[in-house]
Amino acid sequence: MKTTLAKWISLVSFSFIFFTHITNAQVSDPGAKPQEAKERYARSEDEYKAKNYKGAKNDLDWLLANAPKISKNIYIRSVKVYEEILKEVKDDSRKSILQDSMMTILDLRIKNYGEEVKIMDNDKGRFAYVFYSKKTEKHEMLFDLYQKILELKSNDVSTYNVQYLFRVAAELKKAKKRDLDDVKLIELHEKLSKICEINIKKETEKVYWEAVKKDLDGVLENAIGEMDCELIKKQYGEKIKANPKDTLLARKVQGLMQRASKKNKECFKDKMLEDIYKMFAKEYPNFNNCKAIAYWNANNDNDEEYMKWMGEAFKYGGTSLEKADLIMAQARKKAKAGSYAEARSLAYQAIQTDKSLTGKAYKFVGDLYMASGGTCVGANKTPCDRKAIYVAAYNMYMKAGDAASAARASQYFPTKTEKFTHSCGGTTVNTGGWVGETVTIPAL
């Protein structure tokens, strides 16, 4: 009697625990063999908690086949069980079977419990590339999968799904499949980069999204070939004109033209690229966008426009070196126009703005002095007076740390005979002219 009572109490306790769990797990259907399903479910749970994954797998496989709606937990646990078992499997064929089974389990979970968006983004996307990326026959399937995940999740997609989609696309482009060429790959790159930028701004996973963006750029660099500038202009010229505020289109074309400029440097000088930069500066006025226009003009020898746009850029920031570079550009422009004194003043201003330009600025002044050798001849117009300017140039080159230029300047110093004849060795002489510097003529 006691034994029967004990068995009854045990059965009641098991039933209470099981059905309490069933209620919590929202079990809807134990299948055609409910008693065996309940026993296997309870046993698989114990094995799972004890981390006996191989033991849990047998019961979970049975439940998936015979009681697929007993609880969502059999899918959650099965994925974990398969994942752990895969870590120990060495045989490729066995591993492949387990991987395929795992993906099927995820599909069955979607079929029986919904949550497609969540499962696709969190689970299928996370495992699929790892399982199949080395199997070229699976690449088109992967491409379709990640395209679908992107459609389902849009900008809220997980980082790895963006990364895996682009890697697979690059492989398909290499294999000349899915009609993927350089242009379409760059279009996809721009689309995915935009998703990265949106998520980087959210800050919560900034580091991860920045890493994905870097990976996209690296994959693109390795995947696309040389672009033809004229073809780009033919394909996109009218589109850019018709959509002057379409920044996504503009960035795509900008990327194409910059890539094409590696093959043909004239492409970087094309007017369409300037129009794109100006559009960016108008829609998103900041330092980098204004600087891009300035550099475009610098490459086209448009000095005034270069300085104008660098001036605009500095309204939004810029380093001391960048500002000093602009001042040196102004100095070169003044020198070109023959305004040497103004050019020298600007060079000195550049030094004050950023000391790292000291050598460059002093060399520039030395070059100005050398170019003025025929006009600055001193007060008395003796050979020592006429050649004093070369001593001034020498001194500038030495300040610049340019020994080679200094040596060239010294070749024009007064000769020993001239210094002896005019008694000027070791004396101070003013260069005269716009230079107006007093220098010491080297002694005999």
Single out the residue of 160, 219, 229 nearest to residue 188, CA to CA: 219
The answer for residues whose C-beta is within 8 angstroms of residue 385's C-beta and 6 or more apart is: 377, 378, 379, 429, 432
- Angle (CA) 60 65 69, round 5°: 80
Digit-coded pLDDT (tens) for 266-293: 888 898 999 999 988 888 899 889 988 9
Positions in the chain whose pLDDT score sits under 70 = 1-28, 31, 378-380
Query: Helix, strand or coil for residue 151?
Result: helix
- DSSP per position, 116-145: HHHHIIIIIHHHHHHHHTT-GGGHHHHHHH
Angle at 210 between CA 258 and CA 263, to 5 degrees: 15
Q: pTM for the complete prediction?
A: 0.58
Cα separation, 270 vs 278, whole angstroms: 13
pLDDT of residue 16: 34
Query: Whole-angstrom Cα distance, residue 442 to residue 413?
Result: 8
According to DSSP, the residues that pair with 428 across neighbouring strands are: 440
- Determine contact, residues 414/383, Cβ cutoff 8 Å: yes
Up-side HSE of residue 358: CA atoms within 13 Å toward CB? 7
CA distance 268 to 286: 21
3-state secondary structure 277-300: HHHHHHHCCCHHHHHHHHHHHHHC
What are the tens digits of pLDDT across the range 396-424?
999 999 999 999 999 999 999 999 999 99
What is the distance, to the nearest Å, from the Cα of residue 13 to the centroid of all Cα atoms in its chain? Answer: 60
Phi-psi region of 31 (alpha: psi -120 to 50; beta: other; left: phi over 0): left
Give the phi and the psi of residue 217 in degrees, each rounded to 5.
-65, -40
SS3 440: strand
- pLDDT value of position 370: 95
Q: What is the residue whose two structure tokens read 């094409």?
A: 260
pLDDT attached to residue 49? 95
Q: For the residues of 40-73, what is the DSSP string, one character each?
A: HHHHHHHHHHTT-HHHHHHHHHHHHHH-TTS-TH
At 393, which amino acid appears? A
Q: What percent of the chain has pLDDT over 70?
A: 93
Cα–Cα nearest to 441, from 405, 403, 390, 400 = 390
Task: Output the pLDDT for position 207.
Answer: 92
Helices (H), 135-203: 139-153, 159-174, 182-201
- Per residue in 341-352, pLDDT (tens digit) is 999 999 999 999
CB 99 within 8 A of CB 86: yes
What is the Cα Rg of the chain in Å?
Answer: 38
